[in-house]
Every structure is written in C-alpha cells, then in structure tokens.
A and B are shown apart, each in its own frame.
Chain A
Amino acid sequence: MDAILKTEHLNLWYGDNHALKDVSLEMPGHQVTALIGPSGCGKSTFLKTLDRMNDLIPGVRIEGQVLYRGRNIFDPQVDVTWLRRHVGMVFQKPNPFPMSIYDNIAYGPRTHGVRGKKELDQIVEKSLRGAAIWDEVKDRLKKSALSLSGGQQQRICIARALAVEPDVLLMDEATSALDPISTSKIEDLIADLKKSYTIVIVTHNMQQATRVSDRCAFFLHGELVEAGETEQIFSVPRDKRTEDYITGRFG
C-alpha cells in the first residue's frame, strides 16, 4: 500500500493554541480517507495543512513533515503553486467565482498556461463530465456559475479542481451546506473519482464516512486518536474514545 500523502510528527500552533499534536498519518493512493471528529478537533486544520492553505493565516507555526510522493511540502524548494496544482481543494461552502461556468473551469488551466481555445474546450467538457454535471450545464456554459443551485455549484467547484488534473483531492465538509439529494450525488461522485484520484475528506457525518471512505482517521483535541480501515474503526474501534464518538456519546 503506497501512501501518496503522509504526515510525520506534524505539529501546528495558531499562536499559543496547539491545534495539531504530533499527527502521523498515511493516506494511500486511490482510496478515500475520511477525517472524523468533533468540531474543533483539528481535522479541518489538518486537511488545510496538506495543501498549505494555512500559510494564509498569520501566526501559524508548523513543525514536522508532510510528504507528498516523498517530498516534504514545507521544503523551501517546493513551489506552493506546484503543490496546489497536484493537491486540489474543494471547500466547505461552494465558492465558484462570479464568472461564467466555462471561465470557472478554465481558471486553473489558464493559470497554468493553457491558452488554446480547443484545448480549453476539451478540458472544460472533460472536467464537467468528471464531476457529473456536464449534462446539466452543457447548454449554458456562458451563464454565470452563481445562477446554479448550491449542489450544482459544489460540483462546479469539484470540476474546477479536476481541471488542473490533480493527483489528490481534498474535500473540507464538501456536502455540509447541501441538501440530501445533492449530497448523495456528490457521494456517488467521490466513489467514482477515487478510481483516478487519491481523496481525503473531512466529514461530520458518520453515515457519510461509512458510505464513502475506505479508511478513517479519528481526531480529538488536535490528536490523532486512531486511524485504520473504515470497517474496523466502525465495528471494532481500538480506542474507547473512538467508540464513544462513533456511537454518538459526544461530539
């Protein structure tokens, strides 16, 4: 089992707040790893660290390593745009740009230098098909992405992330702002996408974790309590705290 993404003794502080404590976790290729745990446990922080999106926040200090295909992403020689091109992010709230659907999808490829109209057309279609929304929007690619429903917007954001042909897809509670039908569409999509991508999701929803993930990692107070096969975590958790959480005793 090859880990595409791996953290080793990862520690993170927001000022004095020790938000991640010595987290070592492997995220294997072509699998869905779900990060679970109560609010404020550090799972979102952990996810953002994998893409170096925490760089945006002032006062953050990080120790330890995050290895993407064996390279430490905090190495000064690693270009953060290179990293984010290979490790894409879908955010909790759908955040399409206020542009046309087409321009949203083409944003990433254009950023990385794709200019040809034909090539862009192909990428846009492929990405929208990949995110299972092509049939719904193919006749209105020039319309504003903001005219779509929340669920459609989130799939546009997934398509936008796919358009730069990433290797890893990080999803931060990508369905928490959506209705049940849109949620199930996106869950089906995740199952489909893992054939081509390595996926890490943050979820509050235990059913969702069991439905879509192959592996689970349970966080509590910044610590990684337990990680393993989803089936094992949900049937025979090794740690009492994991058991308490998944059976709904807190969180």
Chain B
Amino acid sequence: MEHLSLRRRLYDRGLRGLLYLCGLITCALLVFLIAYVFYRGLGGITWEFLSTQKSYINQTDGILPNILNTLYIILFSMVIVLPLGVGAAIYLTEYAANRRLAAVLEFATETLTGIPSIIFGLVGMLFFNQLLGFGYGILAGGLTLVVMILPTIVRTTQESLKTVPQAYREGALGLGAGKWRMVRTVVLPNAVDGIVTGCILAVGRIVGESAALLFTAGMGSVVNSLWEAMTTSSGTLSVALYVYANEHADVAAALAIAAILMVITLVINVAATLAGKALKKKQ
C-alpha cells in the first residue's frame, strides 16, 4: 500500500510540475515576443516616422499614409458591416419564422468565421478588383473585409440578443408593442454591450489583417484623401509591415510598425472590455 501511494504522490507531483512548465513556457513566449518587439521597435518610432510618407530622395521612412489608410478602411468597413451584420442578426434571432432557414444561415455564418483570410483576399480580388473593376483601393479592400467580418458581427450580435430575457419580449408584446418596437426599445438596448464589444473586436481584426488586403487594397504608401484612396492602391499598417520587411528589407521600420500595432491591439482589447463593462453597468 505504501509503495502504491508513494508512486501516486510522485505521479501527482510530476504531473503538476509538467503543467507548471506548460504555463511557464506560454508566459515566457508571450513576454519574450512583446519584449523583443518593443525593445527593437520602440526606438524607431519618431515623430517624423509617424507624420511623413516614405521619401526615397531624403531616404526617410514614414507611415502616415498607412495610418490614414488603416483609419479609412476601418471607417469604410464598419459603416457597411455594422448595419448589415446587426440587421441580419436581428432578423435571424427575432424574426425568422422559418427555423430551418435560420439554422442553415447560422451554420453558414459559423463556417465563414473559420475560413483563412487569404481566401477572402483571393475571392475579393477576383470579384471586386477584377470583375467589378474597382482596382486596388479601400473600396475593394473594405468590401472584402466586410465579407470577412460580417459573420463575426452577426454571431456576436446574435449571442448578445439571446442573452436578453424572453420575459422582456413577452412584456413588451403583451402591452401591444409591435415586433420592431419591441426590438428597438427593449431588446437592442439590452444587447448593446455585446454588440459594441463585437464591433471593437472587429476593428481589431481589421487592424491586424494583412493577407486579405494585399490583393485587394494594395500596398500603396502615398497620402491620399479618403475619396482618392477608394480606388488607389492603399496599404494599411499591417500591409506596410510586410512591405517594409519583405520589399525594402527594412527590419527596423517593420519592427517599429509591429510595436505600434501591438499597442493598438492592446488599446482595442482594453477598450472592448471597458466598453462592455460600462454599458452593462448603465443598465
């Protein structure tokens, strides 16, 4: 008996050690990645880097165009994807009487979320850039991102609509409210925290996306107005990172962009958490 229990103790201890090691390695990798990018990247972030465009004559780097393009594409994609996705989610959750159709649509959206982004890029290029003739630019890139992000917005919105208690819906309908009034006054206000969180995470995906944009928005690095950028090759920050590292072999600039992207991602995640909490509290 004693022998067995000793074995078990050793086994227990060994297993715990192993799990501890897994946790340690995970943390270490993460810390190393962040530390490395910041250590090598932060030094490259200067005012000039942020506020100019790349100049071959002066031999200076600048990512202002890419910052603008990133903002443009966020704006353009969200303006389209938000009403579309929230609308689809409201239809699927609140209206769809044909449950089978709704189930098929839900399955389709779920599947779409798992498709690698480069496939969206490829199809987006063939459809928006070539078939519809938009060429490189925010228009084709933004629409591609709309297709890519739509399922995420639909899913997160649906999830938050489903958390609204059925009793609220019954209460509103029982007072003679029509379906839309019920949705607008009772359902949406109680789901808004989830929708906002979903949107902020969608913005995060846009900022981080590169594969789907290489073929569609392009790699251009010249300052344009929003209107011009629509149909002019316009690289976002993530794309610029790729361009600097791969085309210009300028690893320092790429790391500086990486540091900026990491800060943005952090800010976005904190914002999503805070917004979700603040809106929840308001109720």
Q: Which residues of A contact B (CB under 8 A)?
A: 51, 53, 56, 58, 81-85, 88-89, 91, 93, 95-98, 107-108, 111-112, 157, 160-161, 164
Complex interface: stretch among B35-43, B85-93, B178-186, B246-254:
B178-186
Q: Residue-by-residue, is B151-176 near A (CB-CB < 8 Å gives 1, otherwise 0)? A: 00000000000000101111111111
State the CA gap A107–B170 with chains docked (Å): 13
Asked if B190 is at the interface of the complex by the 8 Å CB criterion, the answer is yes
Cross-chain contact A88 with B168 (CB below 8 angstroms)? no
Q: A95-B165, A97-B186 are in contact. Are A56 and B177 (CB under 8 A)?
A: no
Within the complex, what minimum Cβ distance (angstroms) separates A148 from chain B?
15
Closest to A85 in B: B176
State the CA gap A70–B185 with chains docked (Å): 33
Asked if B5 is at the interface of the complex by the 8 Å CB criterion, the answer is no
For chain B, the bracket of interface size reads: 20 to 34
State the CA gap A96–B176 with chains docked (Å): 15
Q: What are 12 sample pairs from A and B whose C-beta atoms fall under 8 A apart?
A: A56-B169, A56-B170, A81-B178, A83-B176, A84-B173, A88-B175, A95-B167, A95-B168, A98-B189, A107-B172, A111-B172, A111-B175
Tell me whether chain B's interface is mostly helix, strand or loop, or mixed.
helix
Chain B residues numbered 122-177 whose CB sits less than 8 Å from any CB in chain A: 165, 167-177
Asked if B16 is at the interface of the complex by the 8 Å CB criterion, the answer is no
Cross-chain contact A107 with B190 (CB below 8 angstroms)? no
Asked if B111 is at the interface of the complex by the 8 Å CB criterion, the answer is no
Q: A91-B167, A107-B185 are in contact. Are A97 and B177 (CB under 8 A)?
A: no
One of B99, B171, B173, B178 near A97 (C-beta < 8 A): B171
Closest to B182 in A: A111
Asked if B59 is at the interface of the complex by the 8 Å CB criterion, the answer is no
Cross-chain contact A97 with B168 (CB below 8 angstroms)? yes
